[in-house]
A and B are shown apart, each in its own frame.
Chain A
Amino acid sequence: MSGTGEWPLFEVFVRGKRGLSHTHVGSLHAPDATMALRNARDLYTRRQEGVSIWVVPSGVITASSPEERDSFFDPAGDKVYRHPTFYEVPEDVEYL
């Protein structure tokens, strides 16, 4: 790889503002993580779109495959207790 000078691909995640999670915004090429972070700042936050950036080498991401989707995500469909609407709350309780 270093022989041809090709730079690896990094995935970029930006936290839009405090209180939000980092969200995937795209990718870019950089020789290493240090430069990837700087390139990401210049590319994905030119208009103050973020307060924090993560860069991750694309190669280290393990993704679920679409065929596995049912076994991966359907079980969570049962776990309604994870969702706030599962709980009945007396009417006079505010700010939950």
Chain B
Amino acid sequence: MTEAGSGAATAAGASRHAGRVDPLVVLGLADDALVYAQRLGEWLTRAPEIEEDMALGNIGLDLLGQARGLLTRVGELDGTGRDEDALAFWRDEREFRNVQLVERPRGDFAHEMARLLWFSAHRLERLRQEQQSPDEVVAGVAGKAVKEVAYHRDHATQWVLRLGDGTEESRARMQQALVDVAPYLPELTEDDPVGAPVAREYVEAVLAEAGLGAPPEPRWHARGGRTGIHSEAMGFLLAEMQHLHRTHPGASW
């Protein structure tokens, strides 16, 4: 499943990066990780089992690490000299480039695993391409991140299999979760025409093994995350994340 992706990823990486690196593209990759880490942080102390507190904490920490590396690079690439904190805490909503999937409020565990499966399947393909980035820093972050995200995708896979083929309740919740995240998938697809089919193939194989049906095509879908248009949830997320930092302008922590 994954091997098919590697060759295509290399080709796409080369074409995407034929010219110079676009800081806004890197920013999208950074913001996806930052905003999703923020959501995953909400799970600590609330996971279904303490072992899962550990697992979700690890995934959140990995993504936060990726975000920090990429944000730092964005501040250099775009010539503003902003550091990771300036970018995380002093940008307003319209300047965030994450897909809307990651800003969705924390739902039940099935929702989280549906989101994590789709998200990490797509991110893995994107990162594989970024390993070929002409920018050494971005390529370096991607190289490390590929291993981390492969693990995240596996974690989500294991859970989707168990929830899909567990009890009646878990199956119903898992199925509903797939319906709930479906409107947010086109954003991921449009973002990466080359990697998306590989990601989709991977997820569909997991769903098939779990005995879960593909959800019907949603009537609406989210759009605009990559250009700074977000859902209502985003304002609250940023208010919480940025409040303390902004209350003390110029302070160090």
Contact between chain A and chain B defined by CB under 8 Å:
yes
**Residues A42 and B55 in contact, CB atoms below 8 Å apart:** yes
**Residues B158 and A39 in contact, CB atoms below 8 Å apart:** no
Q: What chain B residues lie within 8 Å of A38 (beta carbons)? A: 55, 154-155, 158
Q: What chain B residues lie within 8 Å of A46 (beta carbons)? A: 54, 58
Q: Does B51 contact A (CB under 8 A)?
A: yes
Question: In the complex, what's the smallest C-beta–C-beta distance from A14 to chain B, in angstroms?
Answer: 15
Which among B49, B54, B58, B158 is the interface contact of A7 at CB below 8 angstroms? Answer: B49
**Residues A43 and B51 in contact, CB atoms below 8 Å apart:** yes
Question: In the complex, what's the smallest C-beta–C-beta distance from A28 to chain B, in angstroms?
Answer: 6
| Cα(A62)–Cα(B51), bound, Å | 26
Question: In the complex, what's the smallest C-beta–C-beta distance from A1 to chain B, in angstroms?
Answer: 14
**Residues B155 and A29 in contact, CB atoms below 8 Å apart:** no
Question: In the complex, which range does the number of interface residues on chain B fall in?
Answer: 10 to 19
Contacts across chains A and B counted by CB atoms under 8 Å: 25
| Cα(A34)–Cα(B51), bound, Å | 13
Q: Is the interface of B mostly helix, strand, loop or mixed?
A: helix
**Residues B54 and A42 in contact, CB atoms below 8 Å apart:** yes
**Residues B49 and A29 in contact, CB atoms below 8 Å apart:** yes
Q: Does A35 contact B (CB under 8 A)?
A: yes
Q: Does A30 contact B (CB under 8 A)?
A: yes
Question: In the complex, what's the smallest C-beta–C-beta distance from B65 to chain A, in angstroms?
Answer: 14
| Cα(A7)–Cα(B162), bound, Å | 13
Question: In the complex, what's the smallest C-beta–C-beta distance from B45 to chain A, in angstroms?
Answer: 16
Q: What chain B residues lie within 8 Å of A35 (beta carbons)? A: 158, 162
Quick one: CB contact mask for B37-59 with A, threshold 8 Å, 1 for yes? Answer: 00000000000010100110110
Chain A residues within 8 Å of B, Cβ to Cβ: 7, 28-31, 34-35, 38-39, 42-43, 46
Q: A31-B162, A39-B54 are in contact. List 10 more A-B contacts (CB 8 A).
A: A30-B51, A38-B155, A38-B158, A39-B51, A39-B55, A42-B54, A42-B55, A42-B58, A43-B51, A46-B58
The 8 A-B pairs with the shortest beta carbon distances in the complex, nearest first, are: A39-B51, A42-B54, A42-B55, A42-B58, A43-B54, A28-B51, A35-B158, A34-B158
Q: List 14 A-B contacts (CB under 8 A).
A: A28-B51, A29-B49, A31-B162, A35-B162, A38-B154, A38-B158, A39-B51, A39-B54, A42-B51, A42-B58, A43-B51, A43-B54, A46-B54, A46-B58
Chain B residues within 8 Å of A, Cβ to Cβ: 49, 51, 54-55, 57-58, 154-155, 158, 162
